[in-house]
Amino acid sequence: MRRISIFGATGSIGENTIDLVRRQGGPEAFRTVALTGGRNVTRLAELARELDADIAVTAYPECLGALREALAGSRTEAAAGPEALAEAADRPVDWTMSAIVGAAGLVPGLRSLRHGGTLALANKESLVCAGALMMAEAVRHGARILPVDSEHSAIFQALQGEDRARAERVIITASGGPFRDWTAAQLAAATPEQAAAHPNWVMGQRISIDSASLFNKALEMIEAREFFGFAPEQIEVLVHPQSIVHALVGFADGGLMAHLGPADMRHAIGYALSWPDRAALPVERLDLARIGQLEFRAPDEMRFPAVRLAREVMARGGLAGAAFNAAKEAALDAFLAAEIRFPDMAGCVEAVLGQLDAAGNLTSATIDLDKVQAVDHLARLKTAEAARKTGKN
């Protein structure tokens, strides 16, 4: 029986993963080792009971009592806190879903690579913060990392059977989010609720707002570099409002291989769950005649500077990715707390990257976890300071 663990089980990707696990036989077909969540311990316990998990872990020690209570009478062990998450990742499994949101997903992802097996990676932040480290750890322990982000799954699928060396560019698409056609003045007045209302995809609040600011696309550009080894100048972004074409790979002969699919994460999750096979999946079959038109346009980097910042981060290298991700997460916290306006997020991130670079904090010939965590911490502090200053002006 295939052993699985799901980190971030109570989130949007986690629930979609469990939907597929359930449809493919649930506890009859899979032995669930660990399920993890954050504050939603009621749901975590429900899922753990349903899948008969060995252990359920909440990220927050103050939620342990409630989790224990919700699991009473079941055979599932309860645990809490970041160390418990890492220890759950040490338990050997064949397939792990990494779907915690944010840099908090890095350590569990890294630790799960140590027992080999497959890591299905939705947590793009871990590659942005520490791509070289993740990849080296996978090689060292004979583990396989499969992409779950729809764009990277699309690239991965377009590269199947191809000579990677003959791929000369990748194009990842962005819907443009709810603010695609908003003016700068409208963006300045945007609320978190408006920013989280994605037109095509149903996702967690944070990634939805990152989609509206194109910070999500910026992370994905860096993820494409780390995952597939494309050079920064080989990675392009196109705004594609229909979210049907997820990515294209351009080959040396001028041909482009596009991957098309419905805006349903169960396609990419299901692909990673069944790879190298393709399972029948419960997703909509596209009717292109009904869709009629597929549009593409260049992103507006004036209104959405995140794409430009991603290029600068890739050119900078070293610890720039870790600082960028942490600054972005802290800027999003400040926006959610109504301390800064929507466009200020990019301003704060750019200012903090500049400060850290000038102070030599982004330079490092090698990447290790301590260095990544130190720059992450610093970037969060600096961004909170920058946000307070910006908010007062």
Please tell me whether residue 382 binds ligand NDP under the rule CB under 6 A: no
Region from 70-78, 94-102, 135-143, 312-320 binding ligand NDP, contact rule CB under 6 A: 94-102
Which residue type is seen at 307?
A: V
* Dist CA 255 CA 168 (whole Å): 10
For ligand NDP, which stretch binds (CB under 6 A), given 10-18, 132-140, 187-195, 316-324?
A: 10-18
* Residue type (1 letter), 112: S
Q: Is 32 in the site for ligand NDP (CB under 6 A)?
A: no
Nearest Cα residue to 221 out of 321, 138, 365, 296: 321
Q: Which stretch binds ligand NDP (CB under 6 A): 134-142, 158-166, 198-206, 225-233?
A: 198-206
Residues in region 349-378 near ligand NDP by CB under 6 A: none
Omega before 276 within 30 of 0, i.e. cis: yes
Which member of 55, 59, 88, 307 binds ligand NDP (CB under 6 A)? 59
Dist. CA 79–CA 105, nearest whole Å: 17
CA atoms within 13 A on the CB side of 190: 27
Residue 126 or 390 with smaller CB distance to ligand NDP: 126
- Binders of ligand NDP among residues 252 to 291 (CB under 6 A) are 265
Stretch that binds ligand NDP, among 7-15, 174-182, 271-279, 318-326 (CB under 6 A): 7-15
Q: What does the per-residue mask of binding to ligand NDP show for 199-238, with x meaning CB under 6 A?
A: --x-xx-xx-------------------------------
């967690």: which residue's tokens? Answer: 204
Kindly report the number of other CB atoms within 10 A of residue 93's CB atom. 24
- Per DSSP, 297 falls in state B
**At closest approach, how far in Å is the CB of 125 from ligand NDP?**
5
Of positions 5, 17, 118, 123, contacts ligand NDP by CB under 6 A = 123
Instruction: Tell whether residue 100 is a contact of ligand NDP (CB under 6 A).
Output: yes
Q: Residue number with the shortest CB distance to ligand NDP? A: 11
Kindly state whether residue 101 participates in binding ligand NDP, applying the rule CB under 6 A: yes
3-state helix, strand, coil in the chain (%, to 5): 50, 15, 35
Considering only 18, 51, 97, 99, the residue that binds ligand NDP (CB under 6 A) is 99
If binding is defined by CB under 6 A, does position 124 make contact with ligand NDP? Answer: yes
Shortest distance in whole angstroms from residue 355 CB to ligand NDP:
26
CA–CA dist 31, 76 (Å, integer): 12
Angle in degrees, 0-180, between the axes of helices 266-274 and 150-159, rounded to the nearest 10: 50
- Per-residue string for binding with ligand NDP, 289-328, x by CB under 6 A? ----------------------------------------
CB of 166 to ligand NDP, least distance (A): 27
Minimum distance, C-beta of residue 82 to ligand NDP, in the bound complex (Å): 7
CB 2 within 8 A of CB 29: yes
CA distance 17 to 332: 26
Stretch that binds ligand NDP, among 11-19, 224-232, 350-358, 363-371 (CB under 6 A): 11-19
How would you class 389 by CB atoms within 10 Å of its CB: exposed for 0-12, middle for 13-18, buried for 19 or more?
Answer: exposed
Q: With contact defined as beta carbons under 8 Å apart, do 348 and 390 qualify?
A: yes
Minimum distance of ligand NDP from residue 292's CB (angstroms):
25
Among positions 26, 38, 232, 347, the unique one binding ligand NDP when judged by CB under 6 A: 38
Q: How do beta strands 245-251 and 167-174 pair?
A: antiparallel
Question: What is the rounded CA–CA span in Å between residue 391 and residue 393?
Answer: 6
Nearest to 108 by CA among 119, 15, 117, 323: 119
Binding site for ligand NDP (CB under 6 A): 8-14, 37-40, 59, 99-101, 104, 122-125, 149, 201, 203-204, 206-207, 265
